[in-house]
């Protein structure tokens, strides 16, 4: 049997391997012996953005032992869903992590997207300013605009789980409801970018919504929730404008760890207008820019 015939047999055999990670089957190339993998890799094209081989993010190891990072600007994801971790006997509880406190850090966070207009406009500004941010996305919105979600991921921003559709009545009826919706959103995000976030933000924030049972359930399932300590107030009912948001952040961003709440969904055009001014103020104040990960300090 020549080498080409042998490789064909290996590839056909690999088609029968079980799924590994986010429900994706192991590829035939992964099934081949190392020598054949190396030979095939030499002829293969470069991986497309969004695959595991990119340098834009860290993928958690099976035991989460690689999450104590020194770079606050690199997102962290898990290639396994919670269902896969449970089925495989893998841990779901994160190890104790030392919060990142090495620099004066601002975390720009955007809730409720993606949408087809404001989120891309925000991404354009972030790209121009060379700043990374965190997008807490809704599963319903990600399903409607998968190409925008994938752009967020490919450009090295962090993605967090913000529930499926922001329905307070359903989410806060019980911890079981809350976790089920977070897992549903995880599964969807995993189907679109190949991995799931470890970070979440509770719709409306955990204050006034979480009790001890919610907090314990989050820990047991490896979720790290972050609220905020600086608000743009871009959802205020009196129809504020961009300068109001800039002034709000100018007044509040005085701590070494500033987790800033904004929104990127439809109706937040003034947030888009305010963003360059917000970034300018933060840079002038000496902030570096991070993305939220399990090791980001809590805002309070």
Tell me: do 145 and 240 sit in the same domain. yes
**Domain extent at residue 104:** 58-289
| Number of domains making up the chain | 2
Residue keyed to tokens 């190392």: 34
In this prediction, residues 156-161 reach a mean pLDDT of: 98
Give the E-state strand segments of 83-195 in sequence order. Answer: 105-113, 134-137, 158-161
Is residue 295 a part of any domain in this protein?
Answer: no
Res. 214: pLDDT tops 70: yes
pLDDT band at 51 (very low <50, low <70, confident <90, very high): very low
Res. 285: pLDDT tops 50: yes
**0.75 surpassed by pTM:** yes
pLDDT of 23 reads 57
Is residue 168 a part of any domain in this protein?
Answer: yes
pLDDT band at 207 (very low <50, low <70, confident <90, very high): confident
CA distance 209 to 27: 43
pLDDT of 45 reads 36
For 230-245, what is each residue's pLDDT tens digit?
Answer: 999 999 998 889 999 9
Is 263 among the residues known to form the active site? yes
The DSSP code sequence of 14-76 is: HTTPPB-STTPBPPHHHHS-HHHHHHHHHHSPPPPTTSTT-SS-EEPPTT-TT---S-TTS-E
Q: What pairs with residue 161 in β-bridges?
A: 137, 200
Q: Which of 80, 226, 263, 268 is catalytic?
A: 263
Tell me: do 95 and 38 sit in the same domain. no
- State both tokens at 72: 């606050």
Strand, helix or coil for residue 104: coil
Is residue 206 a part of any domain in this protein?
Answer: yes
For 89-147, what is each residue's pLDDT tens digit?
Answer: 999 999 999 999 888 999 999 999 999 999 999 999 999 999 999 999 999 999 999 99
In this prediction, residues 224-234 reach a mean pLDDT of: 97
User: For the chain, how far is it from start to end, CA to CA, in angstroms?
Assistant: 66
- Bigger pLDDT: 155 or 31? 155
Q: Which of 111, 112, 115, 227 is catalytic?
A: 111
- Bigger pLDDT: 42 or 260? 260
In this prediction, residues 190-201 reach a mean pLDDT of: 97
- Bigger pLDDT: 115 or 208? 115
Closest CA to 193 of 163, 243, 154: 154
Tell me: do 190 and 93 sit in the same domain. yes
Tell me: do 270 and 216 sit in the same domain. yes
CATH code at position 65: 3.20.20.370
Tell me: do 165 and 263 sit in the same domain. yes
């Amino acid at each position: 049997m020549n080498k080409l015939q042998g490789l064909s047999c290996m590839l056909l055999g690999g088609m029968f391997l079980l799924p590994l990670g986010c429900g994706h089957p192991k590829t035939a190339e992964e099934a081949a012996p190392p020598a054949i993998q190396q030979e095939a890799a030499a002829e293969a094209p470069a991986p497309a953005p969004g695959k595991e081989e990119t340098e834009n993010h860290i993928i958690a190891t099976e035991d989460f032992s690689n999450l104590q990072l020194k770079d606050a600007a690199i997102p962290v994801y898990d290639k396994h869903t919670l269902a896969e971790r449970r089925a495989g006997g893998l841990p779901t509880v994160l190890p104790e992590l030392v919060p990142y406190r090495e620099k004066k850090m601002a975390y720009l966070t955007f809730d409720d997207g993606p949408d087809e207009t404001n989120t891309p406009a925000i991404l354009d500004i972030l790209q121009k300013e060379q700043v990374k941010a965190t997008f807490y996305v809704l599963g319903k919105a990600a399903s409607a605009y998968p190409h925008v979600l994938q752009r967020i991921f490919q450009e090295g921003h962090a993605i967090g789980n913000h529930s499926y559709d922001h329905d307070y009545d359903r989410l806060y009826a019980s911890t079981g409801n809350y976790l089920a919706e977070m897992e549903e959103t995880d599964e969807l995000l995993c189907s679109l970018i190949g991995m799931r976030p470890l970070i979440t933000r509770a719709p409306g924030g955990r204050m006034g919504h979480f009790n001890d049972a919610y907090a314990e359930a989050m820990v047991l399932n490896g979720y790290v929730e972050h609220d905020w300590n600086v608000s743009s107030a871009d959802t205020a009912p009196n129809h504020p404008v961009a300068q109001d948001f800039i002034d709000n952040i100018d007044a509040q961003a005085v701590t070494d760890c500033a987790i800033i709440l904004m929104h990127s969904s439809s109706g937040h055009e003034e947030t888009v207008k305010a963003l360059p001014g917000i970034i300018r103020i933060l840079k002038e104040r000496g902030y570096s820019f991070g993305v939220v990960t399990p090791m980001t300090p809590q805002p309070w």
